[in-house]
Chain A
Amino acid sequence: MSEPLLSVRNLTIDYIGEETDFRAVDDVSFDIAPGEVFGLAGESGCGKSTIAFAISRLHKPPALIRKGSRILLAGRDVLDLDPKALADFRWREVAMVFQSAMNSLNPVLRIEDQFYDVLRIHKGMTRAQARERAAEMLRLVDIPPDRMRNYPHQFSGGMRQRIVIAICMALDPKLVVMDEPTTALDVVVQREILQRINELRKEFGFSVLFITHDLGLMVQFCDRIGIMLAGKLVEQNDAAAIYKTPQHDYTKKLWASFPSLHGGLLS
């Protein structure tokens, strides 16, 4: 593997409680190569979202990243950034798409203004430049650019999610963190969106950290997968190996918990 883009080393995160602390992430290490899609799978509460938040330093107290943890993005430790460097780092280097991202658009602003907001602050673009860039990005996610004068409520959930992805990519980030980006959408829309992201990452070369509980979907999309259980990364391998030859008992159990479309019929 070439030099990794993201390198997470011995990441340990506690939620500080009044009496006892809860260890949400326990000594997790993994790498993501440039252009790679890395998946983190596990059930709710296993710490996968906590990792996603930590990577863009969006974690808030009572979450505490323990000493010795390192998150290196292109050689820089994210945990050492000062506020100014951090503001510059978010969106430009790491962009995030959340589970209910379609609800993260500002309901009272037109789509073009939401692009302008990001592009003005990070790139100092004028309105005309921002509009041009927005049109380009919307085309990439199959939304007619003439709709940028519309407000978020005039789009369906799937379209809104695609708009959020377009805004995320407007600054050419190196890494896109996607935390259950399509869980609230139906399967056809989910497939359309992820297929598009897959094509875009081939074209632009960004890496993706993809978080979901749906192992089948993960194998379709990811190059490599890590399986999390109670804060620990219990298995990490190529997508095909996680599917065909899972090693850890928990990975096998996770597979067994999915009803298969073509599997056994009702007895």
Chain B
Amino acid sequence: MNDAILALDTVTKTFGHGASTVHAARAISFSLHAGRALALVGESGSGKTTCARMAMREYQPTTGQILHKGRPFEGAKADEIARYRRSVQMIFQDPFASLNPAHTIAHHLRRPLKLHRPNIRGSQIDATVRELLQRVKLDPDLVAPKYPHELSGGQRQRVNIARALAAQPEVIVADEPTSMLDVSVRLGVLNLLNDMKKEMNLGLLYITHDIATARYVAEDIAVMYSGQIVEWGPTGEVIDNPIHPYTRLLLSAVPDPDVRFDDPRTRLRPEDVDDIRKAAAAPQEKVVEASPGHFARSL
């Protein structure tokens, strides 16, 4: 598809050199489209945050290129970079660390408006702040004058979403946005992200280790292991008919109240797990297409 807002094209990122080289990302390709979400799923250390950081221009890829609306990043001019910064916004994992404790919520939302939307001036600024808070279902009268410590984790994450929306982005990169929230508020935040995606036609890169929530927000899914995307395709397809052994392993380990640990039929054998990990970690260029749009690396 060429209508991608943001695309990674066979991007590789390595850290260190010589014998201690770490391949954090190997030949990663994916694209983000308006009104669609891609879930990047994998365990800690699989390279998903490295991908997010490259998408955010925080890391330079070692090889490969990142395309913004079809144009490569390499050699982009200052005004293009500024446009990019407005167009791609991020929501961080930790709702406690990502807001400045010394400033009010209103301040957090005014800043991106002043920076990215200079045509909004004077009394319009506070009106837009109110609008943004209403959008994320927070009461502006109550929340705008407050400081971050006066809000709950879920409320703070909503403020983070509002702050990302303030720049009128086209793509939002959300790195584990609910993993630090209480179970009872997780769904609310996921629903909100889903609504934003549809209403504002946003492209969403949803990074998570929880494959069950991926189904909830994302049309497409990519499963990462050891720096490689091992399987990708439409979310329902991949979850219901996984091909790659690592995807199967990941799915079988998701807590499922219908599967008791006592049951020998569903026991995960540690030696099998080790074998799958070893096989999945080896670089593999060959890819098989299981059904239209559903791909996996062969083993």
Contacts and interface: CB of A to CB of B under 8 A. Distances in A.
A187 B41 CA distance: 12
Contacts, number: 93
Contact of A261 (B187, B212, B218): B212
Interface in A133-174: 142, 157
B interface, by DSSP: helix, strand, loop or mixed?
helix
Contacts of A219: 257, 260
A83 B281 CA distance: 51
A186 B260 CA distance: 19
B257 A243 contact: yes
A213 B182 contact: yes
B215 interface: yes
Contacts of B219: 266
A217 B258 CA distance: 10
A216 interface: yes
A140 to B, nearest CB: 12
Interface in B203-252: 209-213, 215-219, 235-236, 239-240, 249-252
B186 interface: yes
A1 interface: no
Interface of A: 43-44, 142, 157, 186-192, 194-195, 198, 213-217, 219-221, 243, 253-254, 257-263, 265-266
Most chain B CB within a 10 A radius of its CB, from A43, A187, A260? A187
B43 interface: yes
Contact of A258 (B44, B212, B236, B259): B212
Given A254-B184, A258-B212, A265-B215, A192 B273 contact: yes
B74 interface: no
B183 A258 contact: yes
Interface in B67-113: none
Contacts of B261: 194-195, 198, 220-221
Interface string B185-196: 011001000100
Given A195-B267, A266-B215, A187 B44 contact: no
Given A261-B212, A261-B251, A266-B216, A192 B183 contact: no
Contacts of A198: 261-262
A186 B236 CA distance: 22
Query: What 4 A-B pairs are tightest by C-beta distance, nearest first?
Result: A186-B43, A219-B257, A217-B255, A216-B255
Which size bracket describes the interface of B in this complex? 35 or more
Contacts of B240: 262
Contacts of A221: 261
Contacts of B259: 220
B254 interface: yes
14 contacts: A188-B43, A191-B252, A191-B253, A192-B270, A215-B257, A216-B255, A219-B260, A220-B259, A221-B261, A253-B184, A254-B183, A259-B190, A263-B215, A266-B217
A195 B239 contact: no
Contacts of A213: 182-183
A186 B254 contact: no
A5 B183 CA distance: 31
A261 B215 contact: yes
B26 to A, nearest CB: 20
B254 A261 contact: yes
B270 A142 contact: yes
Nearest to A261: B212
Nearest to B218: A266
A217 B219 CA distance: 26
Nearest to A215: B257
A260 B253 contact: no
Nearest to A142: B270
B253 A187 contact: yes
A260 B252 CA distance: 13
Contact of A43 (B183, B239, B267): B183
Contacts of B260: 219-220
Contacts of A257: 183-184, 186-187
Nearest to A255: B257
Given A214-B255, A259-B216, 18 more contacts: A43-B183, A44-B182, A186-B44, A187-B209, A187-B250, A188-B43, A190-B253, A192-B268, A198-B261, A213-B183, A216-B256, A220-B255, A254-B183, A261-B211, A261-B212, A261-B251, A261-B254, A262-B240
